[in-house]
Amino acid sequence: MTDGIELLRANRDRLVELIDRFAQATVLVVGDLTLDEFLNGEVERVSREAPVLILRHEETQQIPGGGANAVYNFAQLGAKVKAVGLLGKDIQGEALARLFSAAEIDTDGIFWDVDRPTVTKTRISGHSRQSVMQQIVRVDRKSNELPALELQQQLAAYIRDQIDQVDAVVCSDYGDGTLTQPVIEAALEHPRTIVDSQKQIPRYQDAMIFTPNLPEAELAVGYAIENAESLSRAGRDLLRLTHAQYILITRGEQGMALFDRLGNEQHVPAFNRTKVFDVTGAGDTVVAALTLGLIADATVWEAVVLGNLAASIVVRRFGTTTTTAAEMKAELEKMIERSELSAVPNR
C-alpha cells in the first residue's frame, strides 16, 4: 500500500491534469450489451406448493451490465460515448435503451435483434426481518446463436462510418456474440483500439492494448500464472499471440503488470487492498479510465495508474458500479492525506 501511495503522491498534479481532460474525449464502445436486474424481497414462508421460498417483492433495480457497463463507465467519467451493439426487441432491451438515453449516450450504433433476446442476468435475493439480503438464484436470458449476418454487417458498417470521428475504440467482449469477425475487423481499423475480451483473445490481432485479468490471461496462454516467472512468460506469450503493442494483466490485490514489445515489464501496486467488497465490473472501470488517460496524452504507464485508481473506488462497493472524474480526484487526495497523517508520529 505504501508503494502505491508514494506513486500517487509523486504524480499527483499530473494525474489531476489528465483526469480534468476526460470530458474532452469521444469514444466508441463495441460490446455485448447486458442488463443486470436485481429483484429483492422479504422471505415470508416456505410454499405449500413446493419446497421453495415465497418472497414478497420489495424492489427491482436495473443497471447496465457486461459491455453496457463498459459504455456506462465512460459516460460517468465524463466522456462522449457512442455505444455499438445489439438489443433484443423486448422489455429488457427497452429498459437498457432508456438507461443509455438518460446518461446522454449516443445509441445510433445500437441495432434491434428480432431473433435473439437482450442478454439479461436477473439476480433474485431475499432477507428475513432480522437478516441481511442474500442472493437465492440467478436467471440468465441469452441466445447461443450468432446474430444474423445482416446485423453483423450493419454493426461493421456503422463502426467504419464513425471511426474517424472518435479518439479510441474499445471492444468489450463478454462472449455473447456481438463481436463477430466482421465487427472485430472494423474495430481494429482504429489505431487506438483497446480490447477487453473474456475469451478468444487472439482473434483481435494488432490491437493497441489488451487488458485481461489473471484467469483470462491463463486461458489465453494455456497455463497457470503462479509466480513472477510465469507472469513474465505470460506477458511475452500474449504479446506474441496478439501482436499487440501492450498487454496489461490485472491481478486484483496484487496490482497490475504492463508488458510491451520492447521487452519492458512494469508493475503498478494495488491502491486498495483492505476494503475490497466486490470486484464485479472493475475491469470495465479500469479500461475506461485507462482509455481516457491515453486520449488525454498520458503515457501508457500513467494511463494504467489512472485505471488502477478508478478500480480502487468501485471495488469498495457492492454490485456493478461506476465512478466519476470528481470521485477519482477526491480519492487521490484522500489517499495521500491519509498516508501523510499516518506518517506523523504520535505525541
- Residue ranges and CATH numbers for the domains of the chain are 2-34+66-118+143-342 (3.40.1190.20)
- The answer to whether residue 274 scores a pLDDT higher than 80 is no
> Averaged over 174-194, what is the pLDDT?
96
**What H or E segment, with its residue span, contains residue 218?**
helix 214-221
From the candidates 13, 176, 284, 297, which is the catalytic residue? 284
Residue 127 β-bridge partners: 42
Query: Cβ neighbours of residue 75 under 8 Å, at least 6 residues apart?
Result: 81, 103, 104, 105
Q: What pLDDT score was predicted for residue 60?
A: 93
- pLDDT, mean of residues 289-296: 96
Residues 6+ apart with CB under 8 A from 248: 209, 210, 211, 212, 256, 257, 258, 259, 290, 304, 307
191: pLDDT confidence band, cut at 50, 70 and 90? Answer: very high
In this prediction, residue 1 has a pLDDT band, given cuts at 50, 70 and 90, of very low
Mean pLDDT of 168-192: 96
Residue 276 has pLDDT above 70, yes or no: no
pTM reported for the whole predicted model: 0.89
Determine the average pLDDT of the residues in 12-17.
90
Residue with more model confidence, 345 or 29: 29
128-150 confidence digits (pLDDT tens): 888 888 889 999 999 999 999 99
pLDDT band at 62 (very low <50, low <70, confident <90, very high): very high
> Can 237 be counted among the known catalytic residues?
no
